[in-house]
Amino acid sequence: MATHRLPELDGVLSPEDIAQTAEYLADMQEASGAIPWFRGGHLDVWDHVECAMALATAGHTQAAMRAYGWLADIQLPDGSWPAKLRHGHAVTGLREANHAAYIAVGVWHQLVLTEDENWAHRLFPTVQAALDFVLDLRTPRGEVRWARDADGTAGDHALLTACSSIHHALRCGVHLADRLGAARPDWELAAAQLGHLISEHEDIFADRSRFSMDWYYPILGGAVRLGAQTRIDERWDQFVVPGLGIRCVSDQPWVTGAETCELVIALAALGLREHGTQLLAAMQHLRDPADGAYWTGYQFVERRNWPVERSSWTAASVILAADALTQTTPGARVFTDVAAEPGAVDPDRCGCGVLVR
């Protein structure tokens, strides 16, 4: 059980609620350290890392360390992980870039929380290999193609949400490397170029605009903060369902807890705490009071939870959102203070002729 201060939002989530949800996640963790979507189910590395961060936020430090240690143990020689695993075995040979990148966010988050540089040094080679895999998927312009197939073929397009998450990971990787005395200026330059493309050239990414993640993730990932309020306002009514949360996709009557919580984190980063608190309160209808788990989503025309699963990553997103709103732990700043830092980009790489410093 956590022994340190836990996030508290009056009338929304108590410390006891957060502790109960964290216990649910801890109980789901397998002996290997893996955290599946649900008991006996599969996992992907991105969601596994999110669960590890939530456990660390709630004081389950050793459980989080086991989660990262497992990732280090099963990392592929090229620095990636299979896009889908079950009981430690690959279900697919596909390897996604944003999955690999996210360990940089998790390891930096763990170091910020614990100040354990010895542990971070042990994990740093894993982070380096992962980010180098990611950057090997860049186009000459600087965006990151979404995946490599089992035969090594790179994907033919880049995704806005994935690249926004990769931008966040690169920024965290830069902070981690600097803290450990192993500066990686190539990561910093790659982050600057990618952030520029996300903020100034959104049209180069594959069109997934019906997904709410493409709306808020450029803000959450730190590439878009200037003008972010306008971006939020433009599609608020399209995605936000009052009293329920936000839609996963704009054309379906389906709200999802994790997307709602991620928007909450983006709002916290913009200082819009009241709006974020209201949204976090709205999605509490997905909570199972018996054990603190959360249903993945709710189909509000049919009035039923769908899919019929209580996903670990939805529970994790609630803990991280509550921490972002309250700034209870220093780990919250890994999300709220990740705005793109001034840096040089090559105007010839994207053809816009704009040099940002």
Please give the structure tokens belonging to residue 207.
């069109």
Mean pLDDT score, 133-138: 98
Check residue 149 and report its DSSP letter.
-
In a domain, 4, yes or no: no
Q: What's the DSSP call for residue 331? A: G
Measured between its terminal Cα atoms, the distance across the chain in Å is 46
Q: Is residue 277 part of a domain?
A: yes
In a domain, residue 2? The reply is no
Give the residue from 296, 223, 271 showing the smallest Cα distance to 38.
Answer: 296
User: What is residue 357's predicted lDDT score, i.e. its pLDDT?
Assistant: 38
- Residue 174 and residue 121: Cα distance in Å, rounded? 14
Average pLDDT over residues 246-254: 98
Q: Domain containing 124: what range?
A: 15-350
Q: Cα angle at 312 between 281 and 279, to 5 degrees?
A: 15
CA distance 322 to 142: 34
Q: Does a structural domain hold residue 9?
A: no
Report which DSSP code applies to 285: G
Q: Residue 29 domain-assigned?
A: yes
Picking from 64, 98, 249, the residue whose alpha carbon sits closest to that of residue 170 is: 98
Best CA proximity match to 165, nearest among 327, 312, 319, 338: 338
Q: At what angle do helices 185-200 and 117-135 cross, to 10 degrees?
A: 60
> Within a domain: residue 7?
no
DSSP helix/strand/coil, 136 = coil
Separation CA 196–CA 122 (nearest Å): 32
Higher pLDDT, 342 or 311: 311
Q: What is the CATH number of the domain that holds 267?
A: 1.50.10.10
6 part of a folded domain: no
Any domain includes 168? yes
Give the number of domains in the chain.
1
User: What's the pLDDT tens digit per position in 292-335?
Assistant: 999 999 999 999 999 999 999 999 999 999 999 999 999 999 99
Report how far residue 192's alpha carbon sits from residue 316's, in angstroms, rounded to the nearest whole number: 29
Q: How many residues does the chain have?
A: 357
pLDDT at 354 over 70: no
- pLDDT band at 353; cut points 50, 70, 90: low
Alpha-carbon distance 200 to 218, whole Å? 11
Tokens of 318: 């609630």
